Chains A and B, each alone.
Chain A
């Protein structure tokens, strides 16, 4: 018993120490504002040797086809290039394709660069591009990017350095997606030889990017070295090597960053002790423009949560300011809509004007209570799933539960282990009995249409079969004129925000930490698809 008490005392002392440093931190830090968000950090000037970088978990694969998540894309972005490139400011430019034409709305023609070689020295041709993209059409290959290829009829080489993609119906998102890992190009012969082992630690990948894969020891580290024959002089890496480690435990990761054993990391959710990093004098924390949102995904086609009035009520009663302050430690921005300001890649004034007219994020209890009363659904149970071992999810669940109580809603929480949480997105069986679940959802390109296209009928992620904007979405996706498309999208956004099939809660900036030893990492969301480490070097 004596021992237990001592252990308890030690734990209490630890907690107290944590609280004290937390207080010190909040005194010294101001909440993040939209103006604080950047896209780049000062480029490094000299080779920093080997830079050690932490990924939030070990990638499951390096095959771009099956990479639609943080750790995988953070690693691949430096190795495998796509036809187009998402730049740090979230606009796109040509990469492996130097020119894109659309002779008619059903055809995209990509003119490839002639000076690109793979890491093994062989030249990249239309054959490689066709082999890479066609994998997305093969059901057995199991692409994660199917949403962008659903309108594709054929992908063919129309010349040694020209690829033509034909569509079943016009689709502007297809071309935009070619700036993400959906448009990544690997060597055709390598793909054929690797088979199902493509992208695993033993087989790896064969790409054209500024860094090449040297070793990947499962469970230990992944080493990338500079590709000295990289075609684009503007992005030739400053430093010689990038060594990825896989610390999943966020406390351990923060400790390793503070001790200098790790040079940097991107966080998609703030770790519990982020104040230690904001205040650290061994490095800097930067907040970057981002397409990530913290969202409550509605997943109920029946029951109280299928009623838009209940969802609107919960949204307008939830204190998004408090959620930012308490849960995200002032590193999030309350969101009015699923597509934040960073999505406005064209027709900015149209989007800005529309956003300003959306309901703001202030709490409106009277309106919420009236909505609940009108719905007649008060008291019926609503189950929200949260991810196990996530403090953010647990706290957000508690806040919504409390909010529900003030409205007379019976919100229940179900914890799903992190390893099974992904099933909620794909498996109706896993969603059984679950009305909503939290997600750090992101679009891939700067077009609000990308974030909203989920609400097309038949889309795998349109869990509550929300049908109101289906026709409008299809029209917008086929509309090639930006101004006309923006008008359509703004209209869709108004409906989606009003009916709240998903509840937009927070806009989550990219949190980038770099030790004092280095600088130059891309600060924005583009780090998932852009060679963000190319400019990394000593200050």
Chain B
């Protein structure tokens, strides 16, 4: 069997298993939690008992758990994600409208995390003394400051006082989107960049102290060549792992930042849907998150192969 084909089919099998486990778990937890979407179907003032019963039957709110799960699964297999009972529109449309926003925000934050995180990590590792101390202090601050505090500070300084950036929204068109999402992406990336910086610093330090680096130096190789070929390349494995996980977790982590900057993306939709007990929306988003996670992990694995040929597909 072609090793790549094997790799891909293993991944797909993993995706299916993880998706079933995750969707079943989320569905059952939602089912067990108290609360219902009934007020979104009836409004606050109306409904005779007969009307309420009719609505409950119409939306299958009283069907047994497995019946509802099976009905939903059947829809998925027919390519139908279902209709949101709260928003009365197709889940595909509801999510589709928000994917570009969240993708742009997460993508932007990921770029910041990767560039800034690796750069400050390397700098701290290679410049012991005050540079290292300063950067480590900065990373600790960034790691321990919650994103909403960073967000509010950024708005106060760069949007309200200086007026360089807008206060809210996601923007339209490329340049406008970049302009609108700069502050949210910075707020979202802060912790991740600091974490990646720490990992990069530790991994690089670890490599610097190893025998083969000493050997390379002793053989008279230039310092920059030692750093790039023998230190950084070896340090990349943990860095790539952490970078992948950090980026994958950004989608769910975007909730708070989306709320502070009034960017209506997948994160806030997910939280709202959970609290509204809008089952089909939650399930579709879980599906999307699982796929995203697995795709990113696959990319990480591919990068492993490129970085270290000893790792086999």
Q: Is the CB of A218 within 8 A of B98?
A: yes
Q: Is the CB of A142 within 8 A of B88?
A: no
Mark out the residues of chain B between 224 and 260 whose CB falls within 8 Å of any chain A CB in the assembled complex: 259-260
Q: Is the CB of A417 within 8 A of B275?
A: yes
* B41 CB contacts on chain A under 8 angstroms: 142
Query: Is A246 close to B, CB under 8 A?
Result: yes
Q: Is the CB of B44 within 8 A of A219?
A: no
A-B contact count (CB 8 A): 177
* B47 CB contacts on chain A under 8 angstroms: 142, 146, 426, 460
Query: Is A390 close to B, CB under 8 A?
Result: no
Q: Is the CB of B51 within 8 A of A139?
A: yes
* A188 CB contacts on chain B under 8 angstroms: none
* B193 CB contacts on chain A under 8 angstroms: none
Query: Is A383 close to B, CB under 8 A?
Result: no
Contact of B168 among A11, A218, A247, A426 (CB under 8 A): A247
Query: Is B155 close to A, CB under 8 A?
Result: yes
Q: Is the CB of B87 within 8 A of A68?
A: no
Q: Is the CB of B167 within 8 A of A419?
A: no
Query: Is A200 close to B, CB under 8 A?
Result: yes
* Bound Cα distance from A217 to B277, whole angstroms: 23
Closest to B88 in A: A200
Q: Is the CB of B167 within 8 A of A261?
A: yes
Binds A, one of B141-149, B205-213, B301-309: B141-149
Query: Is B134 close to A, CB under 8 A?
Result: no
User: Given contacts A218-B94, A220-B97, is CB(A3)–CB(B145) below 8 Å?
Assistant: yes
Taken residue by residue from 1 to 21, chain A's Cβ proximity to chain B (1 for < 8 Å, 0 otherwise) reads as 011101100110010000000
Q: How far is the CB of A152 from chain B (nearest CB, A)?
A: 14
* B149 CB contacts on chain A under 8 angstroms: 7, 10-11, 14
Query: Is A267 close to B, CB under 8 A?
Result: no
Taken residue by residue from 65 to 107, chain B's Cβ proximity to chain A (1 for < 8 Å, 0 otherwise) reads as 0000000000000000001001111100110011001000000
* B111 CB contacts on chain A under 8 angstroms: none
Closest to B142 in A: A3
Query: Is B298 close to A, CB under 8 A?
Result: no
Query: Is B179 close to A, CB under 8 A?
Result: no
* A69 CB contacts on chain B under 8 angstroms: 43-44
Q: Is the CB of A60 within 8 A of B93?
A: no
* A140 CB contacts on chain B under 8 angstroms: 54, 58
* Bound Cα distance from A179 to B265, whole angstroms: 37
* A255 CB contacts on chain B under 8 angstroms: 155, 159-160, 167-168
Give chain A's interface residue range (CB within 8 Å of chain B).
Answer: 35 or more
* B42 CB contacts on chain A under 8 angstroms: 142, 144, 426
Q: Is the CB of B40 within 8 A of A422?
A: yes
Contact of B36 among A3, A219, A425, A427 (CB under 8 A): A427
Closest to A59 in B: B87
Q: Is the CB of A2 within 8 A of B137?
A: yes
* A142 CB contacts on chain B under 8 angstroms: 41-42, 47, 51, 55
* Bound Cα distance from A1 to B55, whole angstroms: 54
* A422 CB contacts on chain B under 8 angstroms: 39-40, 44
User: Given contacts A11-B149, A423-B35, is CB(A147)–CB(B45) below 8 Å?
Assistant: yes
Q: How far is the CB of B95 from chain A (nearest CB, A)?
A: 9
User: Given contacts A60-B87, A218-B94, A219-B97, is CB(A146)–CB(B167) below 8 Å?
Assistant: no
Q: Is the CB of A146 within 8 A of B48?
A: yes
Q: Is the CB of B88 within 8 A of A252?
A: no
Query: Is B50 close to A, CB under 8 A?
Result: yes
Closest to B44 in A: A425
* B40 CB contacts on chain A under 8 angstroms: 60, 422
Query: Is B14 close to A, CB under 8 A?
Result: no
Mark out the residues of chain A between 173 and 218 whose CB falls within 8 Å of any chain B CB in the assembled complex: 196-197, 199-202, 217-218
Query: Is B52 close to A, CB under 8 A?
Result: yes
Residues of A near any B CB (own CB < 8 A): 2-4, 6-7, 10-11, 14, 58, 60-61, 63, 66, 68-69, 139-140, 142-147, 196-197, 199-202, 217-220, 245-249, 251-253, 255-256, 258-259, 261, 417-420, 422-423, 425-427, 429-430, 460-461
Residue pairs across A and B with Cβ atoms less than 8 A apart, 20 shown, are A7-B145, A58-B264, A63-B88, A144-B44, A144-B45, A145-B46, A146-B48, A146-B51, A218-B94, A219-B265, A220-B97, A248-B262, A251-B152, A256-B168, A256-B262, A422-B39, A425-B44, A426-B39, A427-B38, A460-B47
- Beyond known contacts A425-B39, A426-B42, A426-B52: 16 more, CB 8 A cutoff: A3-B141, A7-B144, A14-B152, A60-B87, A63-B88, A143-B46, A146-B51, A199-B88, A246-B262, A255-B155, A255-B159, A256-B262, A261-B169, A419-B275, A420-B277, A426-B38
Closest 6 A/B residue pairs (Cβ)? A144-B43, A422-B39, A419-B275, A219-B264, A3-B140, A146-B46
